[in-house]
Chain A
Amino acid sequence: MSEAEAKKVEQMEEDPYELEQFHKILEDSKILSCVQCGKCTGGCPAGRQSRIRIRELVHLAHEGHDIKDCKELWLCTTCYNCQERCPKGVDTTEAIISLRNRAIRKGDHNFPEIHTTAITSLRDQADGFPLSPDVESIRSVIGLPKHPHDLAHDPEGLKKFQALMDDLGIVELVMKKQCGEGKPWKYVDIKYKPSVARGTKKEGESNE
């Protein structure tokens, strides 16, 4: 996103809470101390392989631009190299995470929608990566309990956990944004299919 395209939060933001939050992000992460030395981008493994430039994102935020629509915001692997190496002590990675939070609250349509499967999977089964029948049997063979001693296999605990998640409103927050404001939404029935093998596939086979 070029500077000309980026809009100023000060002029665009109608919600005083969100305006305050934006300033809080700049303050908490010490973005205003940035001197644009570029050390962050120099050590960025994602920057070597894609168009994310941490220095540019920090610059835009520093100038008060709204970067919630920047696709690059979602290309950071949160490796913390930039934050560790910043000579001015800017918490760059924390800023990226806070700006992602803001993008989600504001209804950002650039976030990777596949993540919604992880969110619904967590609510339904208390795990980001649920257990499959293949692994159940492998567990038994090597002397582990077929079902792990976890929340997914504790119906009472799971119910409480779901109540907690609903109270936090994370599913609603993300799904509402996914479906768009004003449109009906519900707990979408996404069965999470990890694109990975589970010990039954041979090396070299497609993982899809």
Chain B
Amino acid sequence: MKKTKFVAFLLVMLMVLQVVSATAFAAKNVVVTTKDAEEGCIVSLEGLSIGKGFFIEPTFVAYQDIMNKYNVEKEAITAAMATGYVFDSLGITVESTGDGWASDSFYMGTIDNIDDPSVPAEFPDFLMENETFVELIESETNSDANLGEFDYTSSAGWMVTVNNYMINKGAGAWLLVNEPDQPADYPVVNNIPVIRWQFSVYGYGADLGTDQVWGMEPLYAAGNRSALYQAIVKYKSNELYGTNDDFTTAIDAYVEACKVLNTEQADIDLLTNQIDIDAQQLIEAAQGGAEHQRVDITDTLNATLEHVYNLAETNGLSVGATGGEWAVLGLARSEKYDLDNAIFTDYYTKVVEYVNEHATEAGKLHSRKLTDNSRVIIGLSSINKDATAIAGKNIVAPLNVLSDVSWQGLNGPVYALIALDSRNYETTDANLRNEFINYIVEKKCATGGWGLSGTKADVDITSMTIQALAPYYTTNEAVKTAVDEALVWLSANQNDEGGYTSWGSTSSESISQTICALVALGIDPQEDERFIKNNISLVDALMSFYDNGAFKHVATGSVDGMATEQALYTLVSYQRMLDGKTRLYDMTDVMTEEPVNPEYDENGFLKIESYINTPAIVTNKAGSTFNAQIGLTGWDSTKDYKLVDMIVTVPEGLRVTDVQATNNLTGGSVYYYVEEATGKLRVVYANLETYENVVVNATEFPADLFTVTFTMDEVLEAKTVDFAITGMSLKLGSDSQDPKMIHVINTMTDSSKATSELKKEVAVFAYELYTGDGIDIIPADKKAVAVLVTELEVATTITYTDGTVLRYNKQLSDKTGVATYVTMVAAETSMDEMNKVANYTMVAGTPASITFGDVNADGVINAQDALDTVNAWLRKTEVTTDDTMLAMNVNGDSRINTYDALGIVDNFVNGTEFIVVTYGARFSAN
């Protein structure tokens, strides 16, 4: 007899044959006894090795019932008796040796009518990969419905384990209570023995991973399923099972998961934990009133704001990881404090000092750690400060190089992306944001989250990364996939107390960051069940660290500055979401270009000012003309103004020849009159036909409203002429007795006065329009200059001493009323020298000219010019001449980009004056 056959024979001797009269092959699913409080055991009958799942799913049987059936004491109950009770209850018969279930010589042989012979076996993959096993297979189908020794393979038969221990004697002799032969590590989970009858097809239990008797090495280490089976039994006995679809489906899913033969212990533990969570949530949901109770964060938020604000008032805020940008972020984004509050303005002053002291020429605040730049940019954005021009430095610029940013790890590009998006900062490369996003997505760990470096995910880094990617979640499929996986990971790693353990400790900061991540995606952390564990939400967990206006880093410690500031902006971000406001890091809401509604003083006077600008120099000869620009520093767009009126002092010798409203003012027409006796110009702007409202539609202030043209009738003796707005008001109605009908503009300011020098000879006044910053097309070593020239008799070509030929500009000339030329010169060119007429050569002749917006110089501003500007910014074409740069930069800032293209569109369609012209004329005043 071969060795295997001999061993099989021994096995057979241990398995008792018995005839069973069961008629169905489906898993038996009868709960014999369900009372949790009762003592008892669990029995299952499994065909996992042949892919047939459970013949009897884990079933509880009470000791008392067994004692009654077999008339024995509890201490005498055997594994066979418990099995017999279940089998008998289900009508399952077996072929066995010994004198029935109560016999101490009971050995299971074949179980009758339990296996459907029409269904072939599906051996697990790990067995089919074992060549020795494959050779043992005699048939993939059973010859009849009985299942026992030698079915399918020559070494097949029933094996039994109690508490994951393959018992070393017959089931009829194995006591469930105080078994004398139980090993030292016999694991009785919850004092409920679990008896698993499993069909083995290889190695007399080697395929079950639990052979401890026959000397064959198990193919793997079987996990102990006792706790999991107990949970399944418990929830299958719940009244919701079979009556509540969600609950039933959920529990059945765990039963299905148990049908995998070689599940490892770690996965079994995971299933065991999760079944409790899922079942409890479904039970609570079914019970209705047991839902998670929301926490109102209002009081906590207000107290924390007050705490941090008081600290800021006392100590000031400065550049730094604590007591700096994160506090600024929380306080500013709460919108509880005006952005002109001293804590913010003082902070800004300190930032300027810090940048002066620490920033490199390139704008780096630290030689390698560019999160310093990102953090300061975020702080500045939150108080509506442009970080591209701080103390003459552009601290955004260093973020344009991915390799520099990512040097310190993943948090480099994560915070760089947040900083860039905080104020929609432009990047030198239009694709830079995509590069950042791709880099970040690719760094995701296989487990589902992100880590600072390497492959180990971390809660804080994962949550910060989600915050950075949140703006792209709905538009970028790769981002959505990565973030969704990260959310699963975050949910799975949340602990039973609703928090997280990161960097070796359970900290409030990890909770804060996760809340921020969820909120950035629009997920309410108090509603999403994935993040409520044991009825404890992330917000509940964060509150457990709260202490009188501040937060602790760890629950057992004391309050901590960093923990408090992170909790503050976390609560602020959550409140913003609840209030329907923009995301914490989306600061575009404070960048609004809507007209600022001015405040009123106690007399009802508007707290806005008028201004008048006239050219610094004007030609002093009969017939010469020039223009003054008159405007306001604000406008109350909520009021229904019927007219604007003003009084301007006209210098002796000058005559008003025209008054025009600019495009900023609509709804009415200009009416004016100069009183000869006083020399006062009186102007009214109103719609006298329909009395409709007059409206200022400017999006930026100060805004020019009127252009007044003055003409000189004779040469004047004076060296200067002085102008002043002596009165200006906005009227809401005609009732002069009602003070509420008039809003008086404050004209008692220096800006309401202007002076122009009278020049009888050729004179120049040069002023800077802008200087390039080297980022977008305009080199940092070049600046644009405008030059007013008086007393030009005829068309004149003007050349500066360095050989630069100036370009005549009709737009500025028309605006100021004085011939104006423009040019690009080296940035270091002295404006003092450019203001000396002796440094220019002037020759009669038609000068070269440029027109702002006419990029291709074809005499027409149209779509080609806008497209050429876009192409230049996209670097599809190269801008090779200063003239093209001057024509393209219609916004008059330090670079050429799509804003200029839009400026051209706006000018073409709406007639909006180019900013370079508006400001060019404004700068032309002394």
The judgment on whether A and B are partners is no
